[in-house]
Amino acid sequence: MIVAIDGPAASGKGTLARRLAERLGLPHLDTGLLYRATARMLMDHGQNLADVRAAVAAARGLSLTDFNAKILRGRDMGEAASIVAAIPEVRQALIDLQRDFATRPGGAVLDGRDIGTVICPQAQVKIFVTATPETRASRRALELKGQGETVDYLAILEEIRRRDARDASRATAPLRAAADSVELDTTDLDIEAAFNRALAIVQAQMQSAPHSLSN
């Protein structure tokens, strides 16, 4: 069974995907890390984020095993990742890695922006996680505060809006809900409630199409 979880920045899709994967006993790939790692590699080598050739080489050279998720999930990396993710050649370079992960025997959970639309249009379960920009900014601010950072709520809100706009307006694989996805609006839900809804969506799908879940 392939479970595709898409949605905008800080919607909670990563946490939901991780917890669903744990519950279902499936491997999980946070595909945002691929774009973050590509951007990081360029930055570490003093290269421009808009340098297509360098960005493609960086994307092709990625290895899932040597990710430092803590550094990659840092606040500045989200913006950088969004910039390299708008380069069609970079997206192309990362397709096989994602599809290979998704099509392992038994299945997988992947989260990102284009999993249900481009990477795994055949996914048996597709969830599009949303929340208002204000809610997402508040959650992000709280998370950063918890890590000891000084936070500026309005700057975070602005960052989230800018990233949404870039991710949704790019020509290749823009952020959007697949036509056959189920929307999960987490604006008024805490993580426990959101997880229960997500699990219910998966279970409903398992009941309605049990034969399509064996791969």
- The distance of closest approach from Cβ of residue 111 to ligand DC in the complex, given in angstroms and rounded to an integer, is 7
- The distance of closest approach from Cβ of residue 161 to ligand DC in the complex, given in angstroms and rounded to an integer, is 12
Nearer CB in complex with ligand DC: 85/93: 85
Question: Which residue from 2, 12, 19, 35 is in contact with ligand DC, where contact means CB under 6 A?
Answer: 35
Chain positions 145 to 164 lying near ligand DC, rule: CB under 6 A, are 163
In this structure, are residues 79 and 159 in contact, taking their beta carbons and an 8 Å threshold?
A: yes
In this structure, are residues 209 and 153 in contact, taking their beta carbons and an 8 Å threshold?
A: no
Sheet holding 125-130, edge to edge: 28-30, 108-112, 2-6, 125-130, 182-185
Contact region with ligand DC (CB under 6 A), list: 19-27, 61-69, 79-87, 153-161 = 79-87
Residue 82 is a binding residue for ligand DC (CB under 6 A) = yes
Chain positions 112 to 141 lying near ligand DC, rule: CB under 6 A, are 112-114
Structure tokens at 74: 């840092």
In sequence order, the 6+-apart residues with CB closer than 8 A to the CB of 194 are: 12, 16, 129, 184, 186
Residue 32 is a binding residue for ligand DC (CB under 6 A) = yes
CA dist 5 to 114, 151, 153, Å?
A: 9, 28, 26
Interface with ligand DC by CB under 6 A: which residues? 9, 31-32, 35-36, 78, 81-82, 85, 112-114, 163, 167
